[in-house]
């Protein structure tokens, strides 16, 4: 066994920072998520809006990557990306996705399953794009996301060409770039507890209501 494998096999961490019980749980999952997100912001969690987005391709092969949540309300979760990317192709094939947030500073995890039922409104995508820094706008135009490049130089050439093209003018949002909306139908709130006996409480959408269940750790 390598030194690295030996090290990670011996890692142990007892979670002692909180508990999650039915008595301190909000009975509406999006409100509970908002409360935990605020707790994470208050705790200055690093990259608090970062989450893992899992998708499945046409061959039922899963893939996952870190994205940034940019807005949420009423069980709808917004993120922005390139509509020609690998994730977009997989979403077009299968709109069922999963978001996972991990906030180690609070020993908490939230898993949200749902369906991407639509792309964000053009006005909302425009507003978010227009609020981005200039270099990020150039980046959106310059990256053929998920496509094979000959090298970094190819990407740099796209960047320089777009800088020249849009010099001293407003940069419009590309038609191939914008937002998606995930409508949640399942939440799982996980609070680390001592001896790996964690608290896990799930919300499942059923007929306009939410069924709440405690899961074994």
CATH 3.40.350.10 fits 15-130+177-215, yes or no: no
Question: pTM for this one?
Answer: 0.91
What is the structure's pLDDT at 4? 73
Active site residues: 196
**pLDDT per residue as tens digits for the range 108-139:** 999 999 999 889 999 999 999 999 999 999 99
- Whether the CB-CB separation of 98 and 53 falls below 8 Å is answered with yes
Cα–Cα dist 171/6, whole Å:
51
Confidence of residue 94 (pLDDT cuts 50, 70, 90): very high
CB 141 within 8 A of CB 162: yes
Specify whether the CB–CB gap between 103 and 169 falls below 8 A: no
pLDDT above 60 (res 8): no
Q: Where are the alpha helices (DSSP H) in the chain?
A: 3-9, 29-42, 86-93, 122-130, 134-142, 152-165
Binned at pLDDT 50, 70 and 90, residue 3 comes out as confident
């Amino acid at each position: 066994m390598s030194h690295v494998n030996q090290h990670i096999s011996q890692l142990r961490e007892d979670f002692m920072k909180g508990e999650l019980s039915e008595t301190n749980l909000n009975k509406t999952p999006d409100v509970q998520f908002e409360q935990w997100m605020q707790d994470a912001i208050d705790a200055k969690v690093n990259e608090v809006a970062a989450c893992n987005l899992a998708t499945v391709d046409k061959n039922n092969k899963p893939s996952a990557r870190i994205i940034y949540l940019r807005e949420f309300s009423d069980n709808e979760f917004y993120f922005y990306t390139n509509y020609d990317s690998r994730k977009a192709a997989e979403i077009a094939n299968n709109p069922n996705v999963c978001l996972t947030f991990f906030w180690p500073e609070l020993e908490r995890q939230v898993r949200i399953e749902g369906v991407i039922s639509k792309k964000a409104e053009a006005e909302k995508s425009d507003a978010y794009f227009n609020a981005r820094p200039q270099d990020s706008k150039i980046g959106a135009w310059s990256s053929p996301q998920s496509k094979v490049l000959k090298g970094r130089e190819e990407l740099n050439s796209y960047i320089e060409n777009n800088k020249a093209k849009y010099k001293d003018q407003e940069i419009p949002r590309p038609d191939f770039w914008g937002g998606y909306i995930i409508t949640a139908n399942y939440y799982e709130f996980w609070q680390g507890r001592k001896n790996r006996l964690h608290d896990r409480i799930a919300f499942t959408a059923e007929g306009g209501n939410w069924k709440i269940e405690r899961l074994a750790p």
